[in-house]
Amino acid sequence: MWLALLLCLGLPSSGGLRLPVNFWLLSRSGEAPPPHDVQLCNRCCQNIDDGDAAALAANLAALESCAVAVELGPEEGGAPPPPPRVVELRPGELAEQLCARGPRAFQLPRRGHPLEIGEAPFDEGGLGHSVWDASIGLAVWLTRHAEAVRGARVLELGSGVGLGGVAAAAAGAARVTLSEVTLSEMTRSEGTRSEMTRSEGTRSEGTVTKEARSEGPLGEGGADFGGERLLRELEANVRRNGLEAVARVVELNWEDCLSPEYEPECTYPVVIGSDLVHDEVYSLRSLAAAVSAFTEVGGTAYLMSTRGRPGVERLPLALSSLGEVEEEEMTLFNSYGKAELVLTTLRRRA
Ligand SMILES: C[S@@+](CC[C@H](N)C(=O)[O-])C[C@H]1O[C@@H](n2cnc3c(N)ncnc32)[C@H](O)[C@@H]1O
């Protein structure tokens, strides 16, 4: 099934259309994507082979009614699409690092035009530097379940480059707040952070340097989090998609929410997040504290995780004191492989 998709990737663009470089199909766990959707993807590939731009445009439009995100190459005249490649093929972590030059473009279900998401270099954006598979799964899910966010104020935790938050805004949320931690926050969390945020109530304006990053919470050479550069990229992604009127970017460190004195600026009827559980790297306790602090009573939190990551199986328990927790297992197929995801939904009670 996937061979046909692979064959078409990286073909030169034609007919003024942005060519697909990958197809992301979301289905229930244990179920293959609907044959109709796969056929449409394969027809797109055939259309490229045939140089039939009109048929390609029609098939891409038809894909907008499916649970499929079509990743598009650069616009005509831009840099040629990068050769497709998959980095670090570990179980459950397929194709998260598809290389891309310039912003990546995702045509999402029922969206007139693709969402553009710029990424940051790893050493400037830490683990949030790129679009992770779970955020593509969340984006497809949100656009297929727009009623979950339509007209609501939404907070995205650990936005990274923000595909989930941008997709929520595009799906009709009234306001979206995208949040990330800065390097200065995390560096401070090793020692002085708590005193600074609790007693002074201010955030430090620490300077972000590579040297500082290597001394981050995971130690020399370890993975790192967020940073000023990532916050700027998030803001750029809001602007790229013309969402400045509905979306804003803020600094938010979940660790702060562990303090009994922590008072959130406001609470939200909808909280979202993707790929936020990796218990050896981020603290599940602090994530649960942030969900607790920001999800209003009667509100809902939707967290899309990658199955198999440490701590994911403990997320329902970590949230269970806050309300009803449901889990739905899903598979996100793409032209290279698949990622196993789980959507954890918390309905907050008083
Ligand atoms: C694997 S990345 C996922 C990014 C994005 N949600 C996605 O799916 O593409 C995890 C994100 O959580 C953020 N994060 C980790 N610990 C955090 C904390 N204590 N407070 C706020 N964000 C945190 C990281 O900076 C990173 O952007």
CA atoms 163, 165, 170, 171: torsion sign: positive
- How confident is the model at residue 184, as a pLDDT? 53
- In this structure, how many other beta carbons lie within 10 angstroms of the beta carbon of residue 251? 15
DSSP track, 158-185: S-TT-HHHHHHHHTT-SEEEEEE--HHH
Q: In what order do the strands lie in the sheet with 175-180?
A: 115-117, 104-107, 68-72, 20-28, 323-334, 338-348, 295-306, 268-274, 153-156, 175-180, 247-251
Atom of ligand 1 nearest to the CA of 253: 20
Distance 237 CA to ligand 1 centre (A): 16
Q: Give which of 140, 121, 113 is closest to 24, Cα–Cα.
A: 140
- In this structure, how many other beta carbons lie within 10 angstroms of the beta carbon of residue 216? 21
pTM, 2 dp:
0.83
Query: Which of 179, 181, 203, 303 is the best mutation target for the ligand 1 pocket, counting ligand atoms within 8 Å of the beta carbon and taking the most?
Result: 181
Do 63 and 107 touch, CB atoms closer than 8 A? yes
DSSP track, 202-239: ----PPP-HHHHHTSTT-TT------HHHHHHHHHHHH
- How confident is the model at residue 136, as a pLDDT? 97
Give the pairing of strands 247-251 and 68-72. Answer: unpaired
Q: Is the CB of 253 under 6 A from ligand 1?
A: yes
Distance 54 CA to ligand 1 centre (A): 40
- How confident is the model at residue 239, as a pLDDT? 96
Query: Which of 159, 163, 303 is the best mutation target for the ligand 1 pocket, counting ligand atoms within 8 Å of the beta carbon and taking the most?
Result: 159
Q: Is the CB of 282 under 6 A from ligand 1?
A: yes
Do 217 and 190 touch, CB atoms closer than 8 A? yes
Atom of ligand 1 nearest to the CA of 226: 25
Distance 180 CA to ligand 1 centre (A): 7
Coil, strand or helix at 334: strand
* CA-atom Rg of the chain in angstroms: 20
**Pairwise CA distance, residues 47 & 142, whole Å:** 29
- How confident is the model at residue 172, as a pLDDT? 95
- How confident is the model at residue 128, as a pLDDT? 86
Q: Is the CB of 289 under 6 A from ligand 1?
A: no
- How confident is the model at residue 16, as a pLDDT? 59
The 3-state DSSP composition of the chain as helix, strand, coil percent (nearest 5) reads 35, 20, 45
Atom of ligand 1 nearest to the CA of 304: 8
Distance 302 CA to ligand 1 centre (A): 15
Name residues whose C-beta falls within 8 Å of residue 81's C-beta, 6 or more positions apart in sequence: 9, 10, 11, 13, 19, 21, 73, 74
Q: Is the CB of 294 under 6 A from ligand 1?
A: no
**Rounded to whole angstroms, what are the CA distances from 214 to 20, 88, 187, 222, 223?**
37, 22, 10, 7, 8
The rounded Cα 171 to chain-centroid distance in angstroms is: 14
Give nearest CA residue, ligand 1 atom 16: 282
Residues of the chain with pLDDT under 50: 1-14, 82-100, 188-223
Q: What is the dihedral of CA 162, 166, 171, 176, to 10 degrees?
A: 90
Give the pairing of strands 323-334 and 20-28. Answer: antiparallel
**Span 108-167, pLDDT tens digits:** 988 778 999 998 877 777 788 889 999 999 999 999 999 999 999 999 999 999 999 999
Q: Is the CB of 302 under 6 A from ligand 1?
A: no
The rounded Cα 257 to chain-centroid distance in angstroms is: 22
Instruction: List, as own/partner pairs, every contact residues 218-221 make where C-beta atoms lie below 8 angstroms and the sequence separation is at least 24, other chains included.
Output: 218/281
